[in-house]
Every structure is written in structure tokens, then in C-alpha cells.
Structure 1
Amino acid sequence: MRGVVALAVGVGMLAACSGGDETSGETDPTTPPAVTQTAVTTGPGSAEPSTTQSLTTVPDTTTSSTAEATTTSTVPPPAEHRIGVRIGENGGEFYDRTTGETWVPRGFNHWQWDLHRGYLMDRTFRAGDNGLEQAKVDLAEMASYGYDAVRIWVTACFEEAPGCMVDERGEVRPEYIANVAEYLEAAKANDIVVMFTVDDIIGPGRYDLGTAPLCCDEWGGFNLLDLTAGGIADQQRFWTDLIEGLMAVGAPMDAIWAYELRNEQFFEEQQPPLSTGGVVTAANGSTYDLDDPVQRKQMLDEGLVHWARTLSDTIHDLDPTALVTVGYFPSGQGPEAVGYDQRLVDPGPLAEAGVVDFIDYRTYPGLDSGGWDWMWTNSFLGDHVDDTAILLGETGAFHSAYDTIDEAITAYTDFIADACRTGLDGWLGWVWDNQDTYTETWSAVDEGYAIAEALSPAQFPDPCEPPPPATGNLAYNRPATASLFEDTEEFSAPPRSAVDGSEATWWTAPDSGPQWIEIDLERVSSVERIVMITELGADTPLTVDVELLGDDGAVLATHRFETSEAAPRLDLEHRFDPPVPDVRRVRATTYRDAWIIWHEIEVYGAFAE
């Protein structure tokens, strides 16, 4: 999640890079046995391998390559996973292998929150005092509403917090693995499947054996983890420990929906070698001149595919029918991105190569400069809906954007419907229960489980068709056009921001009036009331002409607002008595000798039957 989980991202790795405790580089006695690997080496931009190297490696600090890993295990193979992916009539989709039916994930991200030394982390699986029993209660509650999927951090425990997956000797705690297995048993008993996700791989003395010697002059941050052989070897060791550990204790592996290689994958422009330039050799064996923008991008694209393919192969060698995914948020380098973001995001090469089973995309309504269309444009995934299953793996409603639970529900359902109509294949909300620890977003259990009820399959059966707005606002998230709007490299305020349900965004016309904005209600409606929210920073007269238009454009009713009152917030409201029937569009023309801004335009009434 952008913001919350960012508190946890990279803590163990960044601590090592800033001079924290480092390992001696000696192989840990519990390290998995040596594995035979094949590293495919290509030159920048090459479509075919230029050399092939056969390597025998031990996943410690001496690891020199990690590709095409084959792991030998004496543990019997797991049962076939219930959920698979395929190309259906409408593109990539999930399906239930036991029935052959299309399967639509609907559920929530799941945490048992803990604040330790200022970091937000999860305590569900800890050895000793943990949140496992409450998590099992949560799973039963989710199932009672008809939800079928959860996503949970399988390791989000660090900074010397008690009971984490790896102990102070660098050994995996059996109790931790047993707790993960018990969670899977509870999920399976409730007919819920589980996606395990991670940020940084936390495990000093075990999961930093490959990265510690490389950090941090030449490689740093997530560049170190994902673009170096040592970083990939550390991640191979983690996934091997987890999967073999679960299989050894008899965990119901078929309850696992997917392994997510990274909650939010990105490279870091302000970490070496991207921040320093020069010539480097990445984990795939290729050498790149980072002062050449073309080769720089090639390293990121080819390195991304190599990282994901290597880890996916490692997982599938152990658990052949499991699904593997990677998480992404809207790219700061997208075609409509606003402002600078040093996190370099582009899942396109991963989707193009097909080295993971699906893509997990996450974004939220109400906080960015545009609605769903804007955020999807910046996904770099638009060309892959037909050939790749794509999940809306995080979405929700922030208190700062939505003041009431009804506004939050309307935002949730409309956003999910937008994603569904785009071709995404299910959703997970943020979050089931914030437990009064993380309170920035509305949770599913707030106000008597209002969101859990409203988003349930019984109340929201077709995720492509949202129910009537819980607020009664007919204009919410409807198409909006305008005579003019502000759109620069630093900021964008399009007309859709006036109907996104959030007062934290707005439509701005960077010129004096008259300027108009028009909202298409998309259905013929009976309009009872209109509310317009703006701000006036000076005593400048403001006049607004509101027109209610029929399907043919005829004017059915009008109203004029006039004011010169300066105020940080100004609410204009008019009630039509009697309600005006047969309205399809609402147009507001503003006259003012200054810039024009509307935070929200709300239209209340009822859609025609």
C-alpha cells in the first residue's frame, strides 16, 4: 500500500546499507544444499541468448548466479492448487480447477497490526504472543459475508521485534512456520484462498547473505535486491525456506492462491547504480552502460524479467501448480503522471514476457489528480488485459477523501466497477480491520461491518455493475467535460475531479469566466437537489447558472447562484420543487473575474426505472 506499507519497505536491507549489523559472509549451517543453475546471458537489447553458463551455486555470499534454479526436495509434492489462470472469452482470468468455472476473487487485505519502534508491522504469525487467534476469527467473519480471498504479509516483522521468522542465530523458527500453516488451515476451512506477499525479505544472518557484501556503494535499495545475483539468491533462500517448511509440517498448500514476489515492485533512481551511473553487470550476466539512457532502461526491463523468472522457477520447482504474481501501483513515469517519483515502475516487460501468472495492480479513489481512467493510463498494463489476468489487489477509501461511510461505500463500489469494466479480474479491499492502529482508511468492519455488507456478493453480485450510490449522489464518478482545465507537468485538475466524491481534489479552469462544466448522469433521472462546493479567496463576485438538460439537450430547468462572500469553503445548494424528471445532463456555467474552482458538484434524486 502506498503510504502504510511503505513504512516497512526495505528496513532490513536499508539498515545493512547504512552500516548496521552485517553477516560474516560464511554459509549458514541451515542453508539449503547447493543447486545446479543455468544463467542465460544476453547483451543489451538482444532477443536471443549470447552465452550460456552452467553454474553450481550455494545460496550464500559467494553466489554468482541465480537463474533457472532447480531445487531437490525429499518432501512429497503438494496437492494441486485449486485456483489457476487461463485465457477466457474476455481475456486473462482466474478459474477453479476443481469445477472449471471462472473464479472472481473478492476479499480483503488482512493484518494483525503492531507498531514497533515506529514501524507498522504484522504479528499474525509470530512465535510467542501473536494475532493468530484473532486472524482466525476474521477469516470466519469474512466467509460469513461470502468473501473468498485474502492477501497477507507472510513476513512483516523486523527491527528486533520478538518472534519473527528468523531468530538471532539466523535460523528459521519452526513455530513461525507452524503458525502460517495453522492460518492456511483456518482459511481452507472457510473456503478462502490466501495470497502471501512480502516487501523486503527480513532475516539478518540468513536472507542478507548475498546482499550484505554488495551493499552499498555500487548497489543499494531494491536495485541491490532485484538486480544482483546475491539479492536474488537471498530471495530464493526465503521462498525455499517458506515452502519447504510449510510442506514439511503438512500445511494445506492448496489453500494458497498465490505467492507474491513483491508487494510493490519498483527500482530506485536515487540508489546506486542508477544514481551513480557507469558500467555495471547485472544478475542476468549482461553488462550495461548506465550513462546511456537506452541501456539504462534495458537493464531495468531485462533485469526485472530475469528476477521474476528466476524466483518463479524456484517456486514452481517446489510447488508446481502454485500461482506467482508481482504487485504494482500507478507509475510516476506514466503518460499522465504528475510530479516526480524516484521509484521507477513499469510492469509492462513482465506482462509481455509472461514469466508470472498474473499481475497485482493497486490504486485508490479520491486522492490522486484523476479517477480510475487516469490511474489505469499510468499502469503500463493497458495492452495486456486480453492476455494476462490482472487483479485489483488493493483499493479502499481514505478518511481524508470520504467523510462518511456512505461516501466510502460509493467510492469503493464505483471504483471496483470501473476496474471490472476495464477487464480486471477481481479485487481485494484495504483493509478488513484496522484494529485502531492504522486508521487512515475506512475498514470493512467499521460502523457495524457496513463495508463488509455493502461489498459482499449478496449486495454487489456483479462487480462490473455498482449498486445505486449509497449517498444518493447521481453525479458521483459520472463522465464530466469542461470548457477548460488546468493541466501542467506539476499538477492536473480535470473535470472528473469535481465528481470523484472527494473534496481533496478539484476541477480548476485557469482563466476567468465564463467557464462551464457538464456532467453526464448516464441515465435519465429525476433531480431533486444540487450541491456545489468551492472556495473563494477574495471578495470577487461569483455567478453560476445551472441547467438541467434532457436526453436531447433541451433545457428542462435552470437556477442561478450569486455570491461575493469570501470563504475557505463555500457550499451552494438548491432544491428543485417539484423534482425535475427526465434529466440526463447537468451543466454549470461559472462567471467570475478570477480562476474558477469546484471541489465537488453533487446531484441528488433518483434514476428513472
Structure 2
Amino acid sequence: MKHKYVQIICVFSALILSVTSCNLPQQGGSVITPSAGETEPTAEPDGQPEPLPASPKVDRIKIRTVDGNAEFYDSGTDQKFIPRGVNYVDFYKNERGTYEDRVMATNVYDPERVREAFRHMHENGYNTVRIFFDTCGTGPYCIANPNGNGLNSGYLDNMADLMQIAGEEGIYIVFTANAIPEGGGYWQIFDQEFNSTGHEGFIDGRNADWIHSAGVKTKAAMWRDLMSGLMERNAVFEVVLGWQLTNEYWLWKQVPPLSLDSGMVAISNGQSYDMSDPDQKRQMVTDGTLHFIDTIVPIIKEYDPEALTTMGFFVPQFPNPTGVGGDWYVDTAPLMDTAQLDFWDFHAYFDTDFLDLEKNAENFGMVDYDEKPIIMGETAAGHAFVPSAQTTATMAIDWYAKSCEVGFDGWLYWGYYPWPADMVGKPWTLLEADEFLFDTLSPNNWEDPCSSVIELETKNISQNKLVRFSRELPESPARFAVDGGELEWTAGNFPPQWIEIDLGEPSTVGQVGFAVGQWPPGYTHHQVWARLSDGRFVLLSDFNGYTTVEMSLRHKLPVPVEDVVAVRFLQLESPSWAGYKEVEVISAPTPDETACFAKAIGSPKLMSYPSEDANVAGSLNANDEVYLDGIFTSDDGTEWAQVGGDAWVRAEALSKSDSCATSLTVLNEAPVRFVDVTLEVEVPASTEGDVFIGGFIPGTEYPSWIPWAFLLTKKSADVWSLTLDVPVGTTIEYVYTRGSFENIERPINCGETDPRMLVVGDAPVTQNDIVAKWRDKDCGG
């Protein structure tokens, strides 16, 4: 889970005062309120827990060396074992609006949901899930004992039950820790040790939770409680592929002792290090990490002697510079030959990592490393950077295959269930888009990424193709729009601008889309044109409306278009210089019928809705050829043709091709109508900088709860305004910010900020709001 790419377990919402980092103690917590059918907190029993039924027969996964290379193998069949699976996270929203991964929480644990998922995976060849056992760390339903010290008995019951289900369904588990639970008395252990032993060079739990004796002692207590509790329950330890000491191990670069440039610092191993010496400082981190590992691994193996252990890491920032991790420090290379872990878990995402796999491997220190297996325990792409599951699959296949060449031995994709609509930082998960990624990456369809090749009939055929363009900046060339990376094409001027992708051969196209690349946000108009093998240009898609950061748009063609040799993405209007993060052209099987085309008669208007009183989105030129999605008859009897998804034109203004008689869909229901919603706010006279809203707008592709997503326009000294197009009938939630949740609005009493709510009717509306105070300026931060 990466600092910069918010597909992390420590999810923030508009209600959080500040973004709390993973692996850190959280100050205060959110409790789910029981509803009908939910249980109250589980009290600790007086006696021993009842053991589970007879354990299923599960063969251990072990490690051996074959021809100098370490590999996993099934001890029952003696066959090589390749971990293929997913991070199994399941988010539930608490009463404060914060999402948490609560797979095993005592009020929402659903064994049948777990069993259904594990069975579905196993039937399709998947063999491994990675599960966070302590992200539900606060409140009466989570891992910490709600009534005293130690762990929650009911939670451990659920954990043992989940292990039983995994064994019965043929799924192995990587159980990973993430943070010390807030309850259960563990932070009291930390505080007592931290204060009694001295903490020169440390200021609080940051960094001390890993390399000070207080952190090591606290984590050792938690791990002992966990392992002993599971043993008491006769848990099926054989299903655990690996016990992961932490999800992603890192330290704060800008916090003592790492931020110090003088003085001696003693750490958990009893040794002292000179902070004026960079080599000693680096050695301090290495030695502290090894001491932590050397303390926890024996505890795990005391209760599970055959256990395999591991730790997770995102890529270090050297020797090849990368922005992954931000101000977090990671250094894996010195650990590779000395740590008593059994295998490694290195995380590498293929949408936002600037580094290629070879440079990732160099930073991890895994070049020519064969002593222990290495899995890629997290990998994925996000909605903010990649337009669709199909493009994600195209990128994933290439990423998996190339990662074999640098030494990866297994892959666990990030996300099984689709994430909630109002959650920030959504990745493309396995079950989205009719399980497209699930089927594509299934071992039943792709047996071994290292030895077999999979050819997709539906994939992004624009990637790394020849690009023509109207303009480009040298530092942001047009090829960035088709390279599968985070960098974007920028034209260096305002619209109209375009890029055109040469597909190399006549192709059948079933979908087009793009990830938005613009700042500032605002109204934009995009068109996508196909050039056919006979030289004709056809308008495939028309996108018009408000767009902003971390937003992707796509249009699936009801009938795929054949004989396309090039696709042009044209920006007609934007408040920023033209550009795209990424574009996509998705191939499709040859259709049974021919797509419906039509030519414009005269210069008809393109409307945003099939009505004469709708907003005008643009116009066509005489003889422009367009792709038609469908036909709709309005209440007054007017026929409207749907052009490219978002636009409508009177059918009488078009001359349709013969194929329309059979392939044009008759639309019986009116499309969703959007109306203009204007938010006008009066802010304190002391307001500095720009004003934004972050929020959740259902029924749109707008990003959820990003505090800088929607920029308001200053109308006067204290009044700001924003107009969005919003679906009729939706309820929007929003808060005002000055670019971050640290600078969120506050009520007059400086209490917590409840989201504003607005129900959108069937007519344009202006909502007048007042911001009483700002958190940072008026309420003490």
C-alpha cells in the first residue's frame, strides 16, 4: 500500500481530521453501531474456547531449493506451488463515515460470504489470499479485547473459523499485521517501556514502534496473544502460507531519530549509533529491523513450528529515485542475506510506479537473488489512472510476465470485491466489470505467467502504439498517453488539441476511454473519432461535462466497430491546457451485426439530453459521420438519436445507414437527466488560498472525498461559487476545504464536521452556504 496512491487500508473520508498513516497508532476510533441482526461486543469467556471441529486435511506449503533457486512446493504432492490470488479485503462503514477492512469483525463477519469467495477462487485456479488481521483495530467488534487486556475472544473465534473455511475450500492465507491495536492494553505496555527505559532520540510512537524496545516489546505481546489464542482454538495453521510481521515496513524520514544529524541514539538491540554518520544511521535501521524480526519470528514458530514468515515492503527510493513512499524510509537490500524470514513480499503497482521492474528489483536489492522466494503481495491499477478493467488487465499481464524475469515467484492482486462507490482511491478489483480481471488473471486461463503467454481478445490495443498529435511539450510527450504509466501528455496549449493512435492494422473496437489529465477542473468537451480502413472518419464518442483530477471516462459501444485503423482523441473545450493521463482503445470480437452509422444533414445541435430545453453540448458539421448508440422517442413524439454516449441529436437531422435497421437499439426508458447544481458559499474574511469541496456525488464518475477535487471560483472578497452537473434525484454529500482535510471547514463551536447534504430535484438549483470557521486557522488545527 503506497503513500501516494491512496488504495490503502487506512482509508480517510471527509470526516477525518487528518490522514492517519498505516502502521501507526490511531488517536481515537470509530465504532460501528449495532443494527438489527448484529451482536453486541463479545465478552471474554471465563474458560477455554471450544475447539473447532476436526480440521480439514491440508498439506503444508514449504520451501526448497531446486537448481540453486528457492521455490514454494506443496508438501503433499511435491509439486511446485505458485501463489496466485488476491488481497481479500471487505470494507464496512462506521458511524463516523470512515471505511475499515473488517472481514472478521464480530458484528459483520459472514462465514458464508467468505466461503463463497474462497470457493469461487479455488474453482478458477486461485490458491492464495492475503488478509489483514488487525485493520479492524478499534472498537468492541475488532481484534482488541473490548473489556480488558489482550485480544477479543470472539474475533479470534472468527479468525480460526475463517482458517477452517480456507482449509475446506483449498485456499492458503498470508495473514498480515498492520498496526498495534488501540485497545487490549498494548499501548500501555508501550508507554511503560518507553518511559521507563528512556527514549533519547525518539519523541513518540513514530519510529519507536519498530526500533525502540517499547515497540518491539508491545508487538511481541500482541503476537504471543494471537498465536496462543489461535492454538487454543485448534486453528488450522497448515492453511497459512505465511505469517507476515507487517503489511509494509517503513520508518519516518522526517521524524527522530532518522531526522537527527547529531547525537547518539540507543535502539532496541541495546546498541548506540552516531546520527552524524550516515552509514551508522543506515546501520541503525538495519539492525533495529533485524532485532524486531529476530524477536517476533521465534514467537510465531513457538506455536507453529513449521510456519513460514515474511514481511511486506514497498520499493525503496534508492539507488533509482522514485516518489513512492513520500517521506517514508525503506531499505531492504541490507536485509536480504541476513533476516531470518522465509520469503519476501515486495509490492509493485503498475499504474503509478515511475520505475520499471528492473529498477524496482535493483532498489529492493533482489537482482540475481535466489536464496528465498519473493512474491508480489500487492499489485493493481486504480480508477484514477487507468480508464477500465480491460486496460488494467492488459497492463497486468505484461507486468506479471516481466516480473518473472527479475525474480518474482507469485502474485496477489489488490482487491476482490468492488470498493464502495463513496470510497476514495478505488482500484480496479477482480470482480468489477463482470469479473473481467478475475477471468483474465485466473490460473485456469493463464497457468503460469513465467512460462505461458495469454492472448486477450478484449484488450487495450492503443498501448505503446505510434501516436500523432497536434502539439506536445518535450517533457510531456504524446506517447505518455499510451505508455501505461502515471506521466501524462500535455499539449502545452488550450483546446482544440488532439492525439491520434495508429493501431497498426484494421481492428474491431468495442470501447474507448481516457483518464483525465487537467488542472484546474471545470467543464470540458471531448470527442473520440475513428478512422476506418477506407479513410472515413466516424464520431464514436462525445464526452461533455465537468471533469476533474483522478477521474476516468469510458464509452462501451453497443455494437463494436470494425475496420478501425486509427483513433483520434479530440479536446474541444477545457479550462486547462489539453492533455490525457492515459487513453484506451479496447478491442472486441467481430460482431454478428454491423454498427449503425449516420450522416449529419446540415449542422444539427448536439444536446446533453433528448429535449430541446437541454444544454447544447456542441454541433455537427454537414456530412459528419457519427456512431449511433440507440434511438429514443420523447413524450412529444420527437425521435432522438444517441450519439457517442453523452450527446443527442434529432433523428430527422441524420441520414442513417442501412445497418441501422437491425443494429440500432430502441431505448424504451429515458436516460438519466443531469441538472446544474450551483454551490455558493460565504467564507470567513481571513480565508487564505483557494476554496474547494470534497464529497460524494452518486451516479457520476466524479472522485469521492478528495479534498481538492472541485475548485470554486471567487466571485467577491468572501463569496465563492461552483456549478456541477448532477443526476436528478441524487443526494450529494460535501464539505468545504482549502485543499486538504487538515484545512476543512468547522462549525461555530469547532466541533466535528458533518457532511452537508443536498437532494437534487429536476430543476437547476443554487445552494447558499456559510463556512463559519476553518480547522487550521480558527480551531487550533
TM-score normalised per structure 2: 0.55
Kindly provide the CA deviation profile for residues 89-130 of structure 1, in whole angstroms up to 9, marking residues without a partner as x.
473321112222210011111122123345432222223443
| Number of the residue aligned with 1:284 | 269
Partner SS for 2:367: helix
| Number of the residue aligned with 1:399 | 383
Contact residue 384 and residue 515 of structure 2 kept, 8 A: no
| CA distance in structure 2 between the aligned counterparts of 1:286 and 1:311, rounded to whole angstroms | 19
Structure 1: 5+ residue stretches without partners: 17-28, 31-77, 511-516, 538-566, 579-585, 587-594
Map 1:112-261; keep pairs closer than 5 Å: 112-116=90-94, 117-213=96-192, 214=194, 218-261=202-245
| Number of the residue aligned with 1:5 | 9
Which residue identity does 2:427 align to in structure 1? T
- Aligned to 1:505, which of 487, 501, 506? 487
CA distance 1:185–1:472, change in 2 (3 Å): closer
CA distance 1:239–1:182, change in 2 (3 Å): same
| CA distance in structure 1 between the aligned counterparts of 2:253 and 2:244, rounded to whole angstroms | 23
Contact residue 533 and residue 569 of structure 1 kept, 8 A: no
Kindly provide the CA deviation profile for residues 76-97 of structure 1, in whole angstroms up to 9, marking residues without a partner as x.
xx99971112333473321112
| CA distance in structure 2 between the aligned counterparts of 1:166 and 1:468, rounded to whole angstroms | 50
| CA distance in structure 2 between the aligned counterparts of 1:178 and 1:240, rounded to whole angstroms | 16
Aligned length: 492
Partner SS for 1:257: strand
| CA distance in structure 1 between the aligned counterparts of 2:386 and 2:515, rounded to whole angstroms | 16
| Number of the residue aligned with 1:108 | 86
Partner SS for 1:156: coil
Contact residue 392 and residue 427 of structure 1 kept, 8 A: yes
| Number of the residue aligned with 2:740 | none
- Aligned to 1:414, which of 378, 386, 398? 398
Which residue identity does 2:439 align to in structure 1? E
Which of structures 1 and 2 has the larger relative contact order (alpha carbons within 8 angstroms, sep 6+)? 1
Contact residue 184 and residue 252 of structure 1 kept, 8 A: yes
| Number of the residue aligned with 2:27 | 15
Identity %: 28
Kindly provide the CA deviation profile for residues 303-353 of structure 1, in whole angstroms up to 9, marking residues without a partner as x.
112211221122123212111111111223441324882100111122121
| CA distance in structure 2 between the aligned counterparts of 1:276 and 1:387, rounded to whole angstroms | 35
Which residue identity does 2:448 align to in structure 1? D
Contact residue 269 and residue 342 of structure 1 kept, 8 A: yes
- Are positions 1:450 and 2:428 aligned together? no
| Number of the residue aligned with 2:297 | 312
Structure 2: 5+ residue stretches without partners: 12-19, 29-43, 46-55, 493-498, 519-523, 536-565, 567-576, 589-781
CA distance 1:474–1:11, change in 2 (3 Å): closer
Which residue identity does 1:315 align to in structure 2? I
Tell me the CA shift for residue 602 of structure 1.
Answer: 7.0
Which residue identity does 2:82 align to in structure 1? V
| CA distance in structure 1 between the aligned counterparts of 2:286 and 2:418, rounded to whole angstroms | 36
Larger gyration radius, structure 1 or structure 2: 2
Contact residue 368 and residue 407 of structure 2 kept, 8 A: no
| CA distance in structure 2 between the aligned counterparts of 1:81 and 1:237, rounded to whole angstroms | 29
| CA distance in structure 1 between the aligned counterparts of 2:288 and 2:316, rounded to whole angstroms | 18
Tell me the CA shift for residue 370 of structure 1.
Answer: 4.7
- Aligned to 2:346, which of 340, 345, 361? 361
Tell me the CA shift for residue 210 of structure 1.
Answer: 3.7
Kindly provide the CA deviation profile for residues 426-473 of structure 1, in whole angstroms up to 9, marking residues without a partner as x.
111111113526471122122332221121112122213452245444
Which residue identity does 1:409 align to in structure 2? A
| CA distance in structure 2 between the aligned counterparts of 1:339 and 1:443, rounded to whole angstroms | 21
Tell me the CA shift for residue 600 of structure 1.
Answer: 5.2
- Aligned to 2:75, which of 77, 80, 97? 97
Tell me the CA shift for residue 261 of structure 1.
Answer: 0.5
| CA distance in structure 1 between the aligned counterparts of 2:445 and 2:108, rounded to whole angstroms | 37
Partner SS for 1:259: strand
Tell me the CA shift for residue 272 of structure 1.
Answer: 2.3
| Number of the residue aligned with 1:335 | 320
- Aligned to 2:413, which of 418, 426, 429? 429
TM-score normalised per structure 1: 0.70
Map 1:525-536; keep pairs closer than 5 Å: 526=505, 528=507
Which residue identity does 1:5 align to in structure 2? I
CA distance 1:369–1:14, change in 2 (3 Å): same
| CA distance in structure 2 between the aligned counterparts of 1:401 and 1:151, rounded to whole angstroms | 24
| CA distance in structure 2 between the aligned counterparts of 1:390 and 1:520, rounded to whole angstroms | 38
Segment of structure 1 superposing worse, 453-462 or 201-210: 201-210
Contact residue 310 and residue 342 of structure 2 kept, 8 A: yes
| Number of the residue aligned with 1:325 | 310
CA distance 1:130–1:462, change in 2 (3 Å): closer
CA distance 1:227–1:466, change in 2 (3 Å): same
| CA distance in structure 1 between the aligned counterparts of 2:418 and 2:302, rounded to whole angstroms | 37
Which residue identity does 1:432 align to in structure 2? Y
| CA distance in structure 2 between the aligned counterparts of 1:427 and 1:286, rounded to whole angstroms | 38
| CA distance in structure 1 between the aligned counterparts of 2:513 and 2:434, rounded to whole angstroms | 31
Contact residue 393 and residue 459 of structure 2 kept, 8 A: no
Kindly provide the CA deviation profile for residues 111-161 of structure 1, in whole angstroms up to 9, marking residues without a partner as x.
221233454322222234434432222112212222100000111123335
Kindly provide the CA deviation profile for residues 18-66 of structure 1, in whole angstroms up to 9, marking residues without a partner as x.
xxxxxxxxxxx99xxxxxxxxxxxxxxxxxxxxxxxxxxxxxxxxxxxx
Q: CA RMSD in A?
A: 4.3
Contact residue 13 and residue 200 of structure 1 kept, 8 A: yes
| CA distance in structure 2 between the aligned counterparts of 1:404 and 1:275, rounded to whole angstroms | 41
